[in-house]
Amino acid sequence: MPSEIRHDWRREELLALFDLPLPELLFRAASVHREHFDPAEVQVSTLLSVKTGGCPEDCGYCPQAQRYHTGVDATKLMDTDEVLEKARQAKAAGASRFCMGAAWRSPKDRDIPKVAAMIAGVKALGLETCATLGMLTPPQARALREAGLDYYNHNLDTAPEFYGDIIHTRQYQDRLDTLGHVREAGLKTCCGGIVGMGETREQRAGLLQALANLPAHPDSVPINRLVQVPGTPLAGTAELDPFEFVRTIAVARIAMPRSMVRLSAGREAMSDELQALCFAAGANSIFYGEKLLTTGNPDVERDQALFARLGLRPMPLAQCDDRHGKSTVAGGTVHADITGPAPACGCAA
């Protein structure tokens, strides 16, 4: 039977999926994946920290929190021209989406025009735009949308009941409220979490339950594997079993069939074999480039070599000449997230 798009997942249903023998779980996830995507295609994005460090929050995993001694120095917001040069480099390397991250609890209204200029410039290069700036007000979300922002990233991080063990300066509802403002502004959502922070399997299922039961499934679901940075409270946490990470990817694919499931932070430490299992389990998106905000990421050459070994290719980005006309595929770029039927014109937007 075709996979059902649901927003009423029960915790015990997701745990039952986690408990399946791994070959059976991979088969189910791969079957769902094939219903909605070409399993040989992977969407590629690049992430740039446009304002690093100095964050007042106390997220236990984050080296950018000003209260932790991690060697990450606070910087000012980058100049737009410098951001655009990085975006050109990302596009030349094969990325289709350019994500801009700033270490803020929430941006001040005076920051929005500066970020909007970056967004408009990146959009003019023919790239999809994504930003992660912390909590947003409804007017801020609308202003970013008007500037040309396509996606907004705001993670739930973990299950509601485990959240208070990791973060104390922001409530779970604050995150849900920002996601609501983003959706109401007409932006697509990029929302996932981090695993390997000492949570139980039930709490990993709880994260996926919270994501899958949002009013709309996130267009992109980044699954981050904790990068343990010395100086943060979570440094020294027992590492998550690699097969448990693969199970998390597979259950995310089954619970959110049309979402892009992204291998995000922590990929630098993953073997090629582990990444291959994740792709087999339904992951179909990665971040490209040498750095994710302040932590390492596999370089472009390694990713290209892995794609070649696995027979994978970047997703093509459908670019529509107009909403009711023909569509073309731009060579050398890669796909926008698709979460529902494409318009009649074939545009993926």
Per-residue pLDDT tens digits of the chain, which is 349 residues long: 577 899 999 999 999 999 999 999 999 999 999 999 999 999 888 888 898 877 888 888 888 777 787 777 778 889 999 999 999 988 887 788 899 998 888 999 999 999 999 999 999 999 999 999 999 999 999 999 999 999 999 999 999 999 999 999 989 999 999 999 999 999 999 999 999 999 999 999 999 999 999 999 999 999 999 988 888 988 899 999 999 999 999 999 999 999 999 998 888 889 999 999 999 999 999 987 544 444 444 577 888 899 999 999 988 764 333 322 323 333 333 333 323 322 222 222 2
Integer Cα distance of 208 and 28 in angstroms: 17
In order of 120, 187, 189, 344, the CA distances from 216 in angstroms are: 26, 12, 9, 22
Catalytic residue, candidates 28, 99, 204, 278: 99
Catalytic residue, candidates 28, 62, 145, 253: 62
Integer Cα distance of 187 and 192 in angstroms: 16
Q: What global pTM score does this model have?
A: 0.85
Which of 77, 143, 154, 87 lies closest to 116, judged by CA?
A: 143
In order of 108, 194, 314, the CA distances from 284 in angstroms are: 34, 17, 9
Greatest extent of the chain over all pairs of C-alpha atoms, in Å: 55
Catalytic residue, candidates 175, 225, 262, 267: 262
- Chain centre distance of CA 256: 14
Strand-pair category, 295-296 with 291-292: antiparallel
190 is catalytic: yes
What is the residue whose two structure tokens read 């737009």? Answer: 80
Catalytic residue, candidates 97, 145, 170, 190: 190
59 is catalytic: yes
345 is catalytic: no
Catalytic residue, candidates 130, 191, 278, 347: 130
| CB contact set of 169 (below 8 Å; sequence gap of 6+) | 56, 57, 58, 59, 105
